Structure 1
Amino acid sequence: MDEVKVVVAHSERTTLRVGDVFLKVDADQTRIDAEAEAMALVPVPTPEVLWRKPSVLAIAAVPGTALGRLGEPSTASPAAWAAAGAAIRKLHDAPLPPWPGRAGQAARGIDELAAELDGECEWLVTNDVLPADLVTRNRQVAGAALRPWTPVFTHGDLQIAHVFVDGDEITGIIDWSEAGPGDALFDLATLTLGHEEHLGDVVAGYGADVDLDVIRGWWSLRSLLVVRWLTEHGFDPSAPGCEVDVLKSRM
């Protein structure tokens, strides 16, 4: 009998694995609907949707292994990272989805995002979570991401663990609940967060001019915004190679 494995669990959603089936339980039905709808539209490999019911989405496991994990060295080849960049370019070249931006950071307006960032920076310093000079420097770097962009079809949460490869080929991209119109460079930055050494491979596969200062801006912005959330939901942003180390690398 297959065991039930808890993949991710926090107050917003839980993912369970039973054999080759993943069950995603989400309190927000719009995220369930967005995930299923996005996977039906995108021109890249995605998991097979087995069934969908209120608050639950069942999907099949994709072959291969994750491109890597945040905080750990990636064993994937440069060609695999380039293939990820090429897959992301296909996604971004696809027609926009027929729904507005979701909750992802790149879906928000510039003023809204800047206000949230300033509030979070103040909280981090006031509560002695991070040193003031570290927060100030990364707020400056994050400013590069706060500029107008042309919306494209984005994944919205393209963490390295969400891209699966077999050898040098992409076998599947998972977790589409934040998909919607957004900033292309936010996807590229999310994928390479904590793996700056592979940014060149991803950009080469992506095959377009990319403003690296904006990528670095999104690294800082995303890390500043998630430190509190991660801590409150039982994750450790101070683990080696994770968000706090990403912030320190900008000093």
Structure 2
Amino acid sequence: MTDVEQVEVVVAHQERATLRVGDIFLKIDADRARTDVEMAAMALAPVPTPQVLWRNPPVLALAAMPGVALGRLGQPSTASPGAWAAAGAAIRRLHDAPLPPWPGPDLEEIEADLDRQCQWLISNDVLPTDLVMRNRRVADFALREWIPVFTHGDLQLTHVFVDGDEVTGVIDWSEAARGDGLSDLATLTLGHEEHLRDVVAGYGSAVDLDLDVVRGWWSVRSLSAIRWLLEHGFDPFAPGCEVDVLKAQM
């Protein structure tokens, strides 16, 4: 730490911030409950997770993970098919693990929030009505009863680290809970549909993959995220990002 020349701001918005100082990540979150969930989930997850160095609320210090992120939304992934398959296998281990003791959002809660976000997008002229409503209908395929599994809850490409064809770590567990396993697969492949086959190959042939459900979760996640992204300084209109995902669903 004495040789560190700079502090890198990894992400910063109104709710939380993450800083990198040398090989240490400092996560600053005013919501202690989120950090409690993150630490509990990392302790239970049967996949590589960051080492907790110390915690002094609101700061959590984590060791950097080896490897590189599987990819980034809006950019082509340079990871190999084997790396994507390894990510699928890691997700399968997580989904096969015992359920965490805390619940996740239920179906009614997800649907109610989705409808609020759709109304906001339309009433504020953020997106054309037909684009929103078409994707709202696609989302209905995901909004069905499911058998809950241990889900990561926010399994973005940037949260999975790989080295070659090996998963070296999965980060950012604050949304982990009981949920629909297909939502994790959908989040990982959002904007990268071309890699879904590789992920499923690693996940295992026993998966009951319904592509309509996966597409439904792509619509749910994109519709639900746009307002938050805009209000926190991110651009869902960037090429390959959430708005393009919604357009592709048409």
TM score, norm. by length of structure 2: 0.96
* 2:41 aligned residue: 38
Q: Kindly report which structure 2 residues correspond to 1:156-167, keeping only aligned pairs within 5 A, or say none.
A: 156-167=153-164
TM score, norm. by length of structure 1: 0.96
1:100, distance to aligned residue in structure 2 (A): 2.4
1:219, distance to aligned residue in structure 2 (A): 0.3
Paired residue for 1:168, among 165, 170, 175? 165
* 1:28 aligned residue: 31
* 2:223 aligned residue: 224
* Mean Cα deviation higher: 117-126 or 166-175: 117-126
Q: Gaps (5+ residues) in structure 2?
A: none
1:245, distance to aligned residue in structure 2 (A): 0.3
TM-superposition CA deviations, 1:162-200 (whole Å, max 9, x none): 000000000000001111111111111110001000011
1:4, distance to aligned residue in structure 2 (A): 0.7
User: What is the percent sequence identity of the aligned residues?
Assistant: 74
Q: Kindly report which structure 2 residues correspond to 1:49-198, keeping only aligned pairs within 5 A, or say none.
A: 49-101=52-104, 108-198=105-195
3-state SS of paired residue (2:25): strand
Q: Distance in 2 between matches of 1:166 and 1:45?
A: 12
TM-superposition CA deviations, 1:39-95 (whole Å, max 9, x none): 111110111111112111100001100000000000000110000000000000000
Q: Distance in 2 between matches of 1:93 and 1:239?
A: 35
1:111, distance to aligned residue in structure 2 (A): 2.0
Q: Distance in 2 between matches of 1:151 and 1:132?
A: 33
3-state SS of paired residue (1:144): coil
Task: Quote the RMSD (CA, aligned, Å).
Answer: 0.9
Q: Distance in 2 between matches of 1:193 and 1:33?
A: 27
1:115, distance to aligned residue in structure 2 (A): 2.0
1:209, distance to aligned residue in structure 2 (A): 2.3
1:210, distance to aligned residue in structure 2 (A): 1.2
TM-superposition CA deviations, 1:211-250 (whole Å, max 9, x none): 1111100000110011111001000000000000000001
Which residue identity is paired with 2:122? Answer: V
3-state SS of paired residue (1:249): helix
* Mean Cα deviation higher: 185-194 or 113-122: 113-122
1:8, distance to aligned residue in structure 2 (A): 0.7
Q: Distance in 2 between matches of 1:112 and 1:46?
A: 29
Q: Distance in 2 between matches of 1:179 and 1:233?
A: 22
Number of aligned residue pairs? 245
* 1:242 aligned residue: 241
Which residue identity is paired with 1:244? Answer: V
Q: Distance in 2 between matches of 1:98 and 1:135?
A: 35
Q: Distance in 2 between matches of 1:214 and 1:55?
A: 37
User: Is residue 2:20 matched to residue 1:17?
Assistant: yes
* Mean Cα deviation higher: 76-85 or 117-126: 117-126
1:133, distance to aligned residue in structure 2 (A): 1.0
TM-superposition CA deviations, 1:106-144 (whole Å, max 9, x none): xx2222222221221121111110011111110110000
Which residue identity is paired with 1:213? Answer: D
